[in-house]
Structure 1
């Protein structure tokens, strides 16, 4: 029986992956913020006779402190983890800061993914074929990193924040593979493209209705969207780092995967984590 940790595991692609692996006899640790969605997942697991193999772990991953505590709990209770799926994301229509003073999209989409991969690395390395799957906009040419204003204090646009996060996640994969060259973990960047995962939810009317119509017409259903992800999780690529848009392989040597920028990003993230978490730990 394998053990899967899935962030964003109570809805969309994360939930579909959770139910798939529960149906195959594996253990799933689903992380989410909604108690209602968590209880719904547990009820569906019971219907699959998998209630004893499904856990819902409520956590706001935009909080560095909560993310670090969650990672410590997971390491303690599950010393061997087969796969980590990084799927938690929420489109922020307005700029918000967390209690730790970090822009919320950056905290959830970038910092939490970096922190979980690093903190769970030793547990993953104990598994026979460990894999990290980072669900992001891999290989996108539209976004950029605003190095002098990563938290977009001077100018915030929702899509700008999202696309910056997508570019940052590509670099997280590059940095992980480079900084842990002897690790057996395979780091997979995966862009599922347009999937019916509740994109319209954060928006007000009439935008919500318009997005719902577009989704029904053009978005891939979740059960189809997870198929290439399942294949990658069941048979991880040989390369330490790989990237895909659905099933199309993305070249990880291009400008979006610059090693110097990747090291710069992880240095920045480590410093930000130290400044944000350590003062509160001393209080």
Structure 2
């Protein structure tokens, strides 16, 4: 039996993946901010006679204290993780600073994934063919605002998400650079536009844009097909990237090792590591 940890596993792509592996007889832990959705996940497991293999950790991943507590809970429960799937994302039209003094999207979309990736690495390395699947946005054209990563001067929700995608690209590059001998495969994956709940806080104009996107978006069932292929047979390369199932070179512009190291050092300082 394999162990899967899925952040954002109570909704959308994360939920579909979690249910798929639960039905295959695997052990699955999901992390989510909604206690109600977490209970629904456990109910679904009970309906499948899989309650003993389903776990839920309630955490707001925009808060680093809750993210660390979730990681500690996972570490106390498992000696090995076969796959870490990072799906949690939350859009905000307006800028929000968390109680810890961090911009919400930067904390939720990037910092939490940094902590999960690095702080669970040893449990992943204990597995035979471990993989981290970071569902973000490789291939995107977002700009990294190095002097204002939390966008205090000019916040825009789309800009924050686009930058977050780039930061996660560099997270993957940095993970591979920090652990050249690791057996963990780091996969960056852009699923394209998928008809999910689009968790977030939207202005009326942005909400209308989201509704329009839903009309042509692929279904969750379609979107997870190439994702399952990657999880079931992780690529041989230490770092790889895919856009809607098609491989993308994780080298060159957007994936510079020097920028990844710069970001890693900045993040470690910010998090007090």
TM-score, normalization by structure 2: 0.97
- For the residue of structure 1 that corresponds to 2:240, the secondary structure is strand
Other-structure match for 1:86 = 86
Other-structure match for 1:228 = 226
Matched residues in 2 for 1:233 and 1:208: separation? 32
Q: Where in structure 2 are there 5+ consecutive unaligned residues?
A: none
Q: State the Cα distance separating 1:44 from its structure 2 match.
A: 1.4
Q: State the Cα distance separating 1:99 from its structure 2 match.
A: 1.1
- For the residue of structure 1 that corresponds to 2:147, the secondary structure is helix
Other-structure match for 1:185 = 184
Other-structure match for 2:17 = 17
Q: State the Cα distance separating 1:201 from its structure 2 match.
A: 5.4
Question: 1:133-282 alignment to 2 at 5 Å?
Answer: 133-140=133-140, 142-199=141-198, 202-205=201-204, 207-209=206-208, 211-215=210-214, 217-274=215-272
Matched residues in 1 for 2:102 and 2:6: separation? 23
Go from structure 1 to structure 2 and tell me whether the alpha carbon gap of 1:209 and 1:49 turns closer, same or farther (over 3 Å shift). Answer: farther
Other-structure match for 1:281 = none
TM-score, normalization by structure 1: 0.93
Matched residues in 2 for 1:224 and 1:35: separation? 27
Question: 1:44-83 alignment to 2 at 5 Å?
Answer: 44-83=44-83
CA distances 1:202-227 after superposition (whole Å, capped 9, x unpaired)? 32546535532430x21111011111
Asked if the contact 1:192/1:245 (under 8 Å) is kept, the reply is yes
Matched residues in 2 for 1:251 and 1:145: separation? 19
Other-structure match for 1:108 = 108
How many residues are aligned here? Answer: 273
CA distances 1:73-131 after superposition (whole Å, capped 9, x unpaired)? 21121010000001110001110111110100000111110111110000000011100
- For the residue of structure 1 that corresponds to 2:271, the secondary structure is helix
Asked if the contact 1:200/1:212 (under 8 Å) is kept, the reply is no
Go from structure 1 to structure 2 and tell me whether the alpha carbon gap of 1:111 and 1:221 turns closer, same or farther (over 3 Å shift). Answer: same
Asked if the contact 2:131/2:186 (under 8 Å) is kept, the reply is yes
CA distances 1:31-80 after superposition (whole Å, capped 9, x unpaired)? 00011111111111122221211111100111111111211221121010
RMSD over aligned CA atoms reads: 1.4
- For the residue of structure 2 that corresponds to 1:182, the secondary structure is coil
Asked if the contact 1:105/1:162 (under 8 Å) is kept, the reply is yes
